[in-house]
Amino acid sequence: MYDVTIIGGGVCGAAVAMYLSKYDLKCCLLEKENDIAMSTTRANSGIVHAGYDPEPDTLMARLNVRGCELIEEICEQLNIPYKKCGSMVISFDSKDEAHLEELYERGIANGVRGMELINKEELLKREPNLANDVTGALYASSAAIVNPWRLCIGMAETAAKNGVEFYLDSEVTEIEKINGAFKVTAGGKTYETRFIINAAGLYADKIAALAGAQDFEIFASKGQYFLLDKTSSWLVNSVIFQCPTEKGKGVLISPTADGNIIVGPNAESNNERDDVSTTREGLDFVAQEAAKTSKLVDYRENIRSFSGLRANSDKKDFIIGESALCRHFINVAGIKSPGLSSSPAIGEYVIEILEDCGLIMTEKAEWSYPEAHICFAELSNEEKAEICKRNPKYGNIICRCNVVTEGEILDALDSSYIKPRTLDGIKRRTGTGMGRCQGGFCGVRVHEILCKYYGIDATEVLWDKNGSNIVAGKVGESND
């Protein structure tokens, strides 16, 4: 019997798992895909918002501001790409300026520190590549950028190291209530548990329905992006937003924690829950909107266009708490923006909720973060020399664009608690294939490392999701 079962291995499920792992409880996490961080978490803007957007006295406001503090600490502990670069909401006219003042007031009410209204001259001094018709900005120094899937994986690894069990390829298909507990069927196995945390993202309403507790609905909203090569990193220094509208925070231009520039997203509501295609119209719209912010975006430097899905709901605020329809079934649902920013605070908050529900929480005497993985590219020459002596595999560069070594890939395989099995799994942990050649050079080499490590045939290695075998067959085999 588990004390707590978490459904969903995105950034929220991982955060809940990490905070739960601090207590003397038997917990597990069920994920339907073959890896964690596979949906909303892996395709978003990667922004840690300062917290001036949400209405005061909402969960969003409280958890965003707290999450913003926690992410900085977690990233430092786990060596996750993170940079406190600050954000600008820029104005173009007096209506926008009034809006900025409103955001400033809201930020004060939400407890955001380090905000500053700046004029055009100051703005262009800090961000010289913006369009010349800007009139000023709201600057927030606490806003940051983070690699979102690395944050998720880092928190999940911490949870796994401290005893939370992770089950991949485990789609929940049935939830039964027996004797005040639950029997969860997932991936053909059953898990008995006293509490369920529903962190199923885009499918949270479906999971709630399985427990007979659906009192909300999830709507997938698609956002399309361009990701520009590091050669464009001169473009902006901080996250640049336009004034938000009812539709959302609009198209931003921002550095990413990995050193690229991201441009996007648009917002397409009522999207299919598994449709992450890009469209010419969507990308054209993004480019057209971004041109208001800066005329200098060079799309020839685009290395990847992609789409992400946000799990919007029919409620204004996050849906976090015990379901009114089902005891001990706790929803972490409708986690739209600022979900990533709030994620660790959501984890912290779920502990309070569980305690209120009567779960006895005893803190473990021993709890620690896993050892941070080495990032070869960040090391000084002396450190590089030293680490190659310790393990020569750090001398073998596999991904030239991002300077990722075989040593780092083997670390991701050897010393991970949740082992990557796919090309994209290695990419999410080490950054291989994320550069300008998008795996054209290193893909085949990572493929080979996976074959060797798992002792499998090349035809068995997956690109990403199950069924996405990279190669179709051996030379000379019959073709029927």
Partner 1 sequence: MTKHDIVIIGAGPAGLAAAVAAYEAGVKDILLLERDCEAGGILNQCIHNGFGLHRFGEELSGPEYAGKYIDMLKSTDVKLQLGTTVLNIENKIVSAVSEANGFEQFEAKAIILAMGCRERNRGPISVPGDRGKGVFTAGAAQRYLNIEGYLVGKKIVILGSGDIGLIMARRMTLEGAKVLAVSEIMPFTNGLSRNVAQCLEDFDIPLYLSHTVTKVIGKDSLEGIEISKVDENMKPIKGTEKYFECDTLLLSVGLVPENELTRQAGIDLDLRTRGASVGEDMQTSEEGVFACGNVLHVHDLVDYVSAESERAGRSAAKYVLGTAAAEKDGLNVNVGLNLGYTVPQRINRVNVEKGVDIFFRVRKKIRVGEIRVESNGEKIASFKREFLAPAEMEKITVPKVLLDKANGSITVSAIDLEEEAK
CB of 381 to partner 1, least distance (A): 6
Query: Can you tell me which of 226, 285, 318, 349 binds partner 1, judged by CB under 8 A?
Result: 226
Beta partners for 228?
261, 302
Q: How many CB atoms lie within 10 A of CB 81?
A: 19
User: Chain centroid to CA 235: how far?
Assistant: 24
- Can residue 393 be called a binding residue for partner 1 (CB under 8 A)? yes
Please state, in angstroms and rounded to a whole number, the distance separating the CA atoms of residues 332 and 196. Answer: 10
CB of 388 to partner 1, least distance (A): 3
- In the complex with partner 1, which residue's Cβ is closer, 417 or 441? 441
CB of 441 to partner 1, least distance (A): 7
The interface region with partner 1, picked from 52-60, 157-165, 189-197, 471-479 by CB under 8 A, is 471-479
- In the complex with partner 1, which residue's Cβ is closer, 142 or 232? 232
49 is catalytic: yes
Find all residues with CB under 8 Å of 361, minimum gap 6, and list them.
Answer: 23, 25, 351, 354, 355
Per the CB < 8 A criterion, the answer to whether 444 and 454 are in contact is: no
- In the complex with partner 1, which residue's Cβ is closer, 38 or 159? 38
CB of 464 to partner 1, least distance (A): 6
- Can residue 468 be called a binding residue for partner 1 (CB under 8 A)? yes
The position carrying tokens 């005040």 is 180
Per the CB < 8 A criterion, the answer to whether 422 and 464 are in contact is: yes
- Can residue 234 be called a binding residue for partner 1 (CB under 8 A)? no
Exposure letters 119-147 (e unless 16+ CB within 10 A, then b) = ebeebbebbebbeeebebbbbbbbbbbbb
- In the complex with partner 1, which residue's Cβ is closer, 295 or 316? 295
Tokens of 135: 């009139």
Please state, in angstroms and rounded to a whole number, the distance separating the CA atoms of residues 358 and 365. Answer: 21
- In the complex with partner 1, which residue's Cβ is closer, 121 or 477? 477
Please state, in angstroms and rounded to a whole number, the distance separating the CA atoms of residues 304 and 298. Answer: 13
Find all residues with CB under 8 Å of 140, minimum gap 6, and list them.
Answer: 50, 52, 86, 87, 107, 112, 114, 115, 116
- Can residue 463 be called a binding residue for partner 1 (CB under 8 A)? yes
Query: Which of positions 430-459 make contact with partner 1 (CB under 8 A)?
Result: 436-441, 443-444, 448, 458-459
- Can residue 132 be called a binding residue for partner 1 (CB under 8 A)? no
The interface region with partner 1, picked from 71-79, 167-175, 348-356, 378-386 by CB under 8 A, is 378-386
Please state, in angstroms and rounded to a whole number, the distance separating the CA atoms of residues 244 and 250. Answer: 6
- In the complex with partner 1, which residue's Cβ is closer, 150 or 230? 230
- Can residue 305 be called a binding residue for partner 1 (CB under 8 A)? yes
- In the complex with partner 1, which residue's Cβ is closer, 349 or 394? 394
Tokens of 65: 């501001």
The interface region with partner 1, picked from 62-70, 119-127, 212-220, 402-410 by CB under 8 A, is 402-410
The interface region with partner 1, picked from 173-181, 237-245, 261-269, 461-469 by CB under 8 A, is 461-469
User: Among candidates 332, 320, 351, which has minimal Cα distance to 24?
Assistant: 351
Please state, in angstroms and rounded to a whole number, the distance separating the CA atoms of residues 148 and 415. Answer: 21
Please state, in angstroms and rounded to a whole number, the distance separating the CA atoms of residues 173 and 188. Answer: 9
CB of 428 to partner 1, least distance (A): 15
Please state, in angstroms and rounded to a whole number, the distance separating the CA atoms of residues 232 and 21. Answer: 41
- Can residue 369 be called a binding residue for partner 1 (CB under 8 A)? no
- Can residue 167 be called a binding residue for partner 1 (CB under 8 A)? no
- Can residue 473 be called a binding residue for partner 1 (CB under 8 A)? yes
Query: Which of positions 312-351 make contact with partner 1 (CB under 8 A)?
Result: none
- Can residue 361 be called a binding residue for partner 1 (CB under 8 A)? no
Could you give the count of Cα atoms lying within 13 Å of 315 in the half-sphere of its Cβ? Answer: 19
CB of 267 to partner 1, least distance (A): 17
- Can residue 301 be called a binding residue for partner 1 (CB under 8 A)? yes
Residue 477 burial class via C-beta count within 10 angstroms: exposed 0-12, middle 13-18, buried 19 and up: exposed
Q: Going residue by residue from 245 to 284, which x/- string records binding to partner 1, judged by CB under 8 A? A: -----------------------------xxxxxxx-xx-
Length of the chain: 480
Find all residues with CB under 8 Å of 428, minimum gap 6, and list them.
Answer: 35, 37, 42, 149, 150, 153, 420
Query: Can you tell me which of 1, 178, 365, 472 binds partner 1, judged by CB under 8 A?
Result: 472
- In the complex with partner 1, which residue's Cβ is closer, 277 or 288? 277
Interface residues with partner 1 (CB under 8 A) are 226-227, 231, 274-280, 282-283, 299-307, 381, 384-385, 388-389, 392-397, 400-401, 403, 405-406, 436-441, 443-444, 448, 458-459, 463-476, 478-479
Residues marked active site are found at 49
